Chains A and B, each alone.
Chain A
């Protein structure tokens, strides 16, 4: 009911239809459909191996589906390579930190800004001296609280700072939709709290799809939650509906059993 109401208000920014992706005999994405509305923070949760990262990778084009369709901002982007999706305003942060280790924090962000500022077949002028690129980088770094660390090489940043830099890089591409793959992964308690505060700010400006294991953060942030198990959507709705959903409880209970068995 919530869905039909929301749909009547706005066209979805992202629409996934019957997406299938298998690896060998295993269906990592099994006939999955999903809508993300403009302005919402849509969380995707599910036990380990539910296919969350596989889904994100298909949304950004790092991985192609076997069948199904992905529409973004009214365009069919199913078969577009990742660099073209980025140009349309789809940005992602990676679960396992994926930055340019040989460059400084500011360089990483400035390159993201450069990617969305015309072509880069410019061979003569020094890129590091282009003020508007540096300013854009500094602005994005300031947003995530890394302004003081701009000139530090990525390899010398702490894990928490690298997670924040991931976010700054994604922001510098001026995305319409931000896909965050476990931004809290490996963060301590205080760092996680800072990240939640930051996401609360960001959600005011940009539509976010959040994949996260930290349930407290998910229920604090999400407008809607979709639950994946074995590549299928078993439930979708607002946090209260998900909290009381029997199938969701069973899925997470199942994982708990598995954990105690193996552990």
Chain B
């Protein structure tokens, strides 16, 4: 069984990981800068999707407000930069801490509910965050906030250098996935996954289910806050649109497309989603008309997403 597991899905994962590692070399050889820009964005969103997968795929918590953390992480960087604090050693920990705090409050309130109510309440809180930032007139309000200088790390790394920034994002992605891998297989992860499988049973054998769910929710939000800090540096700009509900929807689609509860699935899902969006939008401005039905087909006929299909192929 183990030898069989090596083919198809694991092979694709290894191939994609290698491709991501070698991408800057390809970009340099061909002089194609665009592809590096595109994949920097993809890698950042993949980290956000991976964090969503932790609560959605492993924890069974369908958060429809995950883009809020992208905004919070981004605004932490943007606002501190605007106020003259440019060091990443301050900006980034603040971005993570504020995201964690937001997740703690939102989680404590919304985890009292289940199912559709949970989806709606996380959506409502994210929309609230959207309107709050729209009202920050000092920081651009609706129009957003331009970040004139990327985070500095005391000369250790130059975020304005495309290749260095790309590798930083990739390191965060691989680090994040490694962390999630450790977590889901730990005692803590077994409890969270057990609660997803059968909450009543887990309570009956002695687990205070919500306590574990809440901690998982906070970890996920913190990782996504990191993605937010990266995103703000990537675009040199942060606006309320980053946390609009459609963005939360995109993240959910990336996770479902790649395969919920599969470690690397969100990465594959994000690549397919954003590359498709890029390619289709070159043909027509109504690209969403093609994208929508395509996603519908995949969700309807490929249960478990792309990784699920690959897994079935492996098993023959």
Contact = CB atoms under 8 A, between A and B. Distances in A.
Interface in B206-256: 206-209, 212, 215
A62 interface: yes
Given A126-B186, A128-B185, A120 B203 contact: no
B206 A83 contact: yes
A126 B185 CA distance: 5
A125 B197 contact: no
B198 to A, nearest CB: 5
Contacts of A91: 204-205
Interface of A: 60, 62, 81-83, 86-87, 91-92, 94, 98-103, 107, 111-112, 114-116, 120-128, 130, 169, 172-173
Contacts of A86: 203-206
B183 A123 contact: yes
Interface in B19-50: none
A111 B202 contact: yes
29 contacts: A83-B206, A86-B205, A91-B204, A91-B205, A98-B198, A98-B200, A102-B196, A102-B197, A103-B193, A103-B194, A111-B190, A111-B191, A114-B191, A115-B206, A115-B207, A120-B207, A121-B187, A123-B183, A123-B188, A124-B186, A125-B187, A127-B186, A127-B190, A128-B185, A128-B190, A130-B187, A169-B201, A169-B205, A172-B205
A111 B205 contact: yes
A127 B185 contact: yes
B5 interface: no
Contacts of A107: 190
Nearest to A82: B203
Contact of B205 (A115, A123, A125, A127): A115
Nearest to A154: B197
Contacts of B185: 126-128
A92 B204 contact: yes
Contacts of B206: 83, 86-87, 112, 115-116, 173
B187 A114 contact: yes
Interface of B: 182-183, 185-191, 193-194, 196-198, 200-209, 212, 215
B205 A173 contact: yes
Given A114-B190, A127-B190, A98 B204 contact: yes
Contact of B200 (A62, A81, A87, A121): A62
Contact of B191 (A92, A120, A124): A120
Contact of B204 (A62, A120, A126): A62
A227 B190 CA distance: 40
B212 A120 contact: yes
Contacts of A124: 182, 186
A92 B187 CA distance: 23
Contacts of B209: 83
Contact of A102 (B191, B193, B208): B193
Nearest to B182: A124
A120 B209 CA distance: 11
Given A62-B200, A114-B187, A123 B207 contact: no
Q: Specify which of A81, A100, A102, A107 lies most central, judged by the most chain B CB atoms within 10 Å of its CB.
A: A100
Contacts of A81: 203, 208
Nearest to B188: A123
B204 A127 contact: no
Contact of B189 (A92, A94, A112, A127): A127
A121 B201 contact: no
A62 B204 CA distance: 8
A122 B198 contact: no
A32 B187 CA distance: 40
Counting chain B CB atoms within 10 Å of each CB, which of A62, A82, A86, A120 scores highest? A120
